Structure 1
């Protein structure tokens, strides 16, 4: 009898240990890295900023480079930096903040964007008048798409089926245009005239392409046929970014030194216009929580990034930080830290 009782007690203790062990497995705390990477065009460097406290984490020098834009791809857990001077894309380990490898692309590297499946990076090459498409699965150049016209901004849809490219018209009296490409066959399917110097952001939740033109207009286009559904006036509209819910846009006016908070559905103002304390607000990023905005301020002698709180329909400055010369492209990313 005592033997049976002892065995039952031991079995109960083993089960209790397993339950506690499983419970502890569920209680494992993961550590995340929330960072902002800034491409310092005038200083051959990247600034890494802690997105939670606005402090400088590291400055990464890339000798001989002219960093333009930076993109984080969650599927590969890598950062990609476009280098205009050396016609290269650099792949960077976001945790070690070091260059891992580089590949050559077209001349005149400018804007770039990756699809949401982590398989393609489209790069504007405005000297070659072409688009370089990088295969992110093996980090090779998979396609060069000749355009016969100078490309500028580029955006690839979340599902990877469509790519949008803004192009500059040589005749300054005519509007610039946006091209729609089939991102699987690399064929141009549609074109739409918009304002001058157009910049792009695709809203996959509502199937619309937003176009901010520095000539003073913001357009909402159908993402399938590029027909214009809405247009509003916005002086100096340049860099733009949507909140995670995609119901709001933050648009930088590079000529008016202002940040606009705009409803993505109607393009109407969604709060007071904020005048930036630092001139020439250029490119915009927003954190995963949708409550913090990061802005580069560009120019040959510029060296600051500013931070803003986004509380429903109001922006307020939170701080600023010195980076390298001419901070240009900017990317926020949140990732699980590796052991």
Structure 2
């Protein structure tokens, strides 16, 4: 009878782990790609003053999908890898006995024990291993990574990583490749692929930069004219973010409008906290709403603002084109128009 335990030395010759190594690659890639390539992409866009790239516009979604995929690959691959390394075989004539170490120790301890031939030989026939017996087993075929046996109509596939397997033949000219070297090569390849994709993304963004900036500048020029004529000052936070501010006459409140544009020049998000002091502020608000809300009439909302200025309490609201809701309220005695908090 022959006891066969998993051996990394045997696997160096057969390279049988194959796809099972992707769990380790995914773990490395979470850092090299998830952190490294993302940082390169965002920093590159900042240095080159690129307003919009796919990664910039969808950073959270891209990272969520990437990490979710990497985590799934990691856990599925690790379970398969661990299952193989905690399994040994006993070959007794035409009977093959599969044994899985059933000890309740930690995974690392189980793998360490099961890859020790002396431990396997001393404990395989005890209740420390859960066994499955395959009788009348006959070798029927061989693939790059497996030996195939037939046992009473059932097919058994045994990975070529088990030392002393009677039917395993290793060619003398086989190139030895360690697990670590193959994992590192794959991790480098994955990094290179994602880096190339991100460089392409930066190139596309750079090529469209003038067009995107032109769209945003054109849209913001309209807003700037409306607000600056009503006493607001503008501050450019970034290529896509603009902040407008204006203090009330008694300096007790400050109106603030923070506007974020998308690459088409449309308003992606706005944060509005606008204090209406008198009828003189209504025209600016009315013109501003024509920019924010082109899909429906704003007359009813403006009418509600006028009523509130006259002392009549209302709870008007207006849905903007980007889906945000503009509400009417009061603050410190002022009529306040603000986006939902």
Greater gyration radius: 2
Q: With structure 1 as the length reference, what TM-score do the two structures score?
A: 0.21
Q: When you count helix as a share of all residues, which structure comes out higher?
A: 2
Q: With structure 2 as the length reference, what TM-score do the two structures score?
A: 0.21
Report 1 or 2 for greater relative contact order, CA contacts < 8 Å, sequence distance ≥ 6: 2
